[in-house]
């Protein structure tokens, strides 16, 4: 741990944010962290955007005894693919971050107090778009005096934010590295996101979103997170999680129980994370993903219109076994961008984790990322 990258969460505030869908959100705050140093020319900055259930904790540890580092620590740090001896890396929490009760997360969302009433917003919080996440990020980046980023990158929902940056602010970055993401998804993913959200709405404790003075809808939220987790993993992963085996001591004839090893694995995976999460925040995140259009922050009204605005060279990283952002969507996006003259490269990740290969196996693309960042375009 002696050479461990130690980082601190910082806070960024905006007095107001004009939302893509109309209206204004006041007293906006998000957390962020940085790695490396900004050079005198302010041209070595890279923005990293996080995935649906993630946070700005992309690398390093907050404390030496933290059990795990940030999610992309394998590629961010001194001498790594995103070399913090060379680049200044910024990562920020999104609005409506799922982990609203994590002490290392700062996020404005439904669980926040409305400055006009002093009470949690609940469903009175305005609908937000991924373009709004990016508007906050752009203000954060500009607060450092940075006018043009070396790169924007991120996995999954972070990849959607990357495409939004490239479509709404095409001159604000030199290149993009979206991972395990594609902007041209169809109703398959829209339906899955509704499935993720449904257990929350079916939990009586949800109370139509007005649960902040009562016990939260924990059962619904945990069920939602189990569905999300299983969807993001490939079937090959289940072989290491018990396969079809019955859990120790369980009775497979008891139809009222969840007696299989895979059930316990998913429950264990969610149990520690769920207390940090907020159910309404998950609903808002799901809707922001479902309504995503690249370039919405710049006025685009369709995926085709948004993609047509992108001109930054792209390295698109994907997992062929991804069941969230299907590989054919990624390949189609790459073909579209290439057809309009954008320099596009693709890199594949292997492994049994499906969509999660973009987190746990990202080091496979490390050399491609390092070379892409270092190249002059």
CA atoms of 122 and 212, how far apart (whole Å):
8
Contacts of 5 (CB under 8 A, 6+ apart): 35, 59, 60, 61, 69, 73, 77, 78, 84
Contacts of 266 (CB under 8 A, 6+ apart): 226, 229, 230
Return the sign of the alpha-carbon dihedral for residues 76, 104, 102, 212: negative
CA atoms of 70 and 280, how far apart (whole Å):
25
β-pair partners for 107: 30
8 A C-beta contact, residue 184 and residue 329: yes
Question: Which residues are catalytically annotated?
Answer: 156, 322, 355
8 A C-beta contact, residue 111 and residue 118: no
CA atoms of 308 and 312, how far apart (whole Å):
11
Burial of 345 (0-12, 13-18, 19+ CB in 10 A): middle
Chain position carrying tokens 């396969």: 243
Pairing mode, strands 24-35 and 10-18: antiparallel
SS3 327: helix
β-pair partners for 90: 34, 47
Q: For residue 108, give the DSSP letter.
A: -
Element (H, E) at 198: helix 187-202
């Amino acid at each position: 741990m002696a050479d461990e990258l130690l980082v601190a969460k910082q806070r960024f505030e905006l007095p107001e944010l004009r939302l893509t869908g109309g209206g204004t959100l006041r007293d906006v705050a998000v957390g962020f962290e940085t790695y490396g140093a900004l050079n005198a020319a302010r041209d070595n900055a890279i923005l990293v955007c996080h995935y649906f259930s993630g946070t700005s904790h992309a690398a390093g540890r907050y404390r030496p005894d933290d059990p795990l580092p940030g999610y992309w620590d394998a590629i961010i740090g001194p001498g790594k693919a995103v070399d913090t001896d060379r680049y200044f890396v910024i990562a920020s929490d999104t609005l409506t971050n799922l982990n609203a009760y994590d002490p290392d997360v700062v996020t404005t969302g439904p669980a926040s107090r409305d400055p006009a009433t002093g009470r949690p917003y609940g469903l009175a919080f305005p609908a937000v778009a991924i373009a709004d996440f990016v508007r906050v990020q752009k203000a954060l980046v500009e607060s450092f005096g940075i006018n043009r980023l070396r790169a924007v990158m991120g996995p999954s929902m972070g990849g959607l934010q990357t495409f939004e940056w490239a479509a709404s602010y095409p001159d604000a970055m030199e290149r993009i590295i979206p991972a395990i993401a594609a902007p041209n998804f169809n109703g398959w993913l829209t339906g899955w996101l509704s499935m993720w959200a449904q257990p929350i709405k079916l939990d009586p404790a949800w109370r139509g979103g007005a649960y902040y003075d009562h016990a939260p809808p924990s059962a619904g939220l945990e069920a939602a997170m189990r569905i999300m987790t299983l969807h993001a993993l490939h079937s090959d992963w289940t072989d290491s999680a018990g396969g079809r085996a019955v859990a120790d001591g369980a009775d497979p004839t008891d139809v009222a129980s969840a007696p299989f090893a895979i059930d316990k694995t998913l429950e264990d995976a969610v149990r520690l994370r769920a207390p940090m999460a907020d159910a309404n925040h998950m609903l808002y995140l799901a809707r922001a993903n479902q309504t995503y259009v690249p370039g919405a922050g710049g006025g685009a009204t369709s995926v085709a219109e948004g993609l047509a605005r992108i001109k930054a060279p792209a390295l698109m990283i994907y997992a062929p076994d991804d069941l969230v952002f299907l590989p054919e969507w990624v390949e189609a996006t790459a073909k579209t961008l290439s057809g309009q003259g954008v320099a596009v490269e693709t890199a594949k990740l292997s492994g049994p984790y499906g969509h999660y290969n973009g987190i746990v196996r990202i080091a496979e693309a490390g050399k491609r990322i390092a070379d892409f960042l270092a190249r002059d375009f």
